[in-house]
Amino acid sequence: MRCLVTGAARGIGRAIAQRLAHDAVAHGGAQLALIDQHHGELDMLADELHTLGSRALVLTGDLCDPALTPRLVVAALEAFGGLDAVVSNAGFAIPGELATYELASWDRVFAVNVRAPWLLAKAAHAALKDSRGAFLLTASISGTHATSPLGAYSPSKAAALMLVKQLANEWGTDGIRVNAISPGLTLTPGTAAAHASPAARRQREQRVPLRRLAEAQDMAGAAAFLLGRDAAYITGAELVIDGGLGNTLMGSLQMSGWQAAGAR
């Protein structure tokens, strides 16, 4: 598989690259273009993937720059001669309340979480059409559940989910599948501070029906499925990977008294 992965240095992006390389061992290895701002960590990942028989191209840059994404795709195409998949995984949040949120923060969050995936998909369209390939976006359960105090993050992920549906609708006739994964509470370097308190971590784990927080590898398995042949008839889909957390709203409410009143 020839695949470009953004946000590949850490967390979910790193796990996806590792999983794709592992899955390709029996087929002579994968060709992976790894994009992130953390150059040193990308180099270490590239060395790891090389030991698995895969080829890794390390690319760096700020996805807020609209001119970067076409250059990334061109570099991958020159190195690999084509692309079978693109994983738009890079994303971030700037905390804050919207009543006092800075315009620059709003624009930066949307630039990375929505504009960059669109520009990446646009630049890769011809290559993915040639290979009848797949585009995968890492969204979030925050795209359908408002999340304080993350400011523009939830609105940007909601927009990213609609971007996936729009691309899938427009590009289906080109043989390109476009899907999203929406992680729930996941242990990554980016969320380490939120889970640093043992009490806070236990509280979150108790809210999840599976009684654990996700690992990045949980997301990588779902990503590999959506990029692979077993998902050949899936497009425009959001695969929620949250351990059942999204189904717990009513269960989290105090339900005593409802039996007497009768549920309606």
pLDDT 10s digits, 60-90: 999 999 999 999 999 999 999 999 999 999 9
Kindly list the catalytic residues: 153
Between CA 218 and CA 241 the distance in angstroms is: 8
Q: Phi first, then psi: what are they for 189, rounded to 5°?
A: -55, -35
**What global pTM score does this model have?**
0.92
In this structure, which CATH number among 3.30.70.420, 3.40.1160.10, 3.40.50.720, 3.40.50.10540 belongs to the domain 2-245?
3.40.50.720
CB 163 within 8 A of CB 157: no
Q: 44: which residues sit within 8 A by CB, 6+ positions away?
A: none
Closest by CA position to 18, among listed 59, 39, 47, 38? 47
Domain boundaries, the chain: 2-245
CA distances to 104, 108, 109, 116, 150 from 101, in Å: 9, 12, 12, 21, 10
**Per DSSP, what are the bridge partners of residue 238?**
180
Using one digit for the tens of pLDDT, what is the confidence trace for 191-224?
A: 767 767 888 888 888 989 999 999 999 999 999 9
Taking only the tens of pLDDT, the chain with its 264 residues reads 999 999 999 999 999 999 999 999 999 999 999 999 999 999 999 999 999 999 999 999 999 999 999 999 999 999 999 999 999 999 999 999 999 999 999 999 999 999 999 999 999 999 999 999 999 999 999 999 999 889 999 999 999 999 999 999 999 999 999 999 999 998 887 776 776 788 888 888 898 999 999 999 999 999 999 999 999 999 999 999 999 999 987 777 655 555 545 545
Place of tokens 């042949």: 229
pLDDT number for residue 244: 92
Between CA 132 and CA 83 the distance in angstroms is: 9
Q: 95: which residues sit within 8 A by CB, 6+ positions away?
A: 149, 150, 151
pLDDT number for residue 250: 72
Place of tokens 């949980």: 218
